[in-house]
Amino acid sequence: MNAVWLILFSVSIVFAICTGNLEAFTKSIFEGAKSAVEVSLFLLGIVSVWMGITRILEDSGLIYRIAHLFKPVISRLFRNIPGDHPSISAITLNVLANLFGLGNAATPLGIKAMQELDTLNEHKGEITFEMMIFIVLNTASIQLIPFSVIGILASYNAANPAGVVLPVLIATVISAVTALLILFGFRKVLK
């Protein structure tokens, strides 16, 4: 991948020199770097706030109440997980982070959920069906309110940054349901 970037960058420099746009090329590199840092810091703030909220939810015990609300859905999807197992809370936190479009904050929660799911695994080193369900659910990530996308659009002064909410919700629900149906379909075929 580094070779690809090096080739792209080298070809860009050659074309900038040949077309006499080296000054504009240099300016655009620094503007792009500045923009990347600003967006990264903005996203870091969103992720930090969400991680703080999840810590408060965990420490206050509220996550167990929220997990209780999600328990019928989570229990139906993850049939082989005991209802009081810590993986239910970890999965719930991950799903909540994804629901609010905070994929970056969902990553450490997803890792924790997989670690908790692995404690139920009788055959270490092999993926269980519950792990597969979680991976599919996490990857499809149904988003109710995509805060990260709205935040990025707002930072670029979009006319209607919240206009993406309904299309993102529809697309993520369709992708999640389709992915789960395919996974369960393959399970029946391969049994």
- pLDDT confidence of residue 99: 78
Domain that holds residue 176: 61-190
How many domains does the chain fold into? 2
**What is d(CA 176, CA 84) in angstroms, rounded to the nearest whole number?**
25
Q: How far apart are the first and last CA of the chain?
A: 39
For residue 52, pLDDT over 90 is answered with no
157: left (phi over 0), alpha (psi -120 to 50) or beta: left
Q: Which helix (H) or strand (E) holds 109?
A: helix 103-118
Do 99 and 151 belong together in one domain? yes
Q: Tokens for 86, please give them.
A: 């810590």
Q: Tokens for 17, please give them.
A: 């020199």
Do 47 and 12 belong together in one domain? yes
Range with lowest mean pLDDT among 3-7, 84-88, 104-108, 165-169: 104-108
- Give yes or no for a contact between 169 and 101, defined as CB atoms under 8 angstroms apart: no
188 three-state secondary structure: helix
- pLDDT confidence of residue 183: 93
Do 106 and 56 belong together in one domain? no
Do 103 and 21 belong together in one domain? no
For residue 84, pLDDT over 70 is answered with yes
Indicate the average pLDDT of the chain: 85
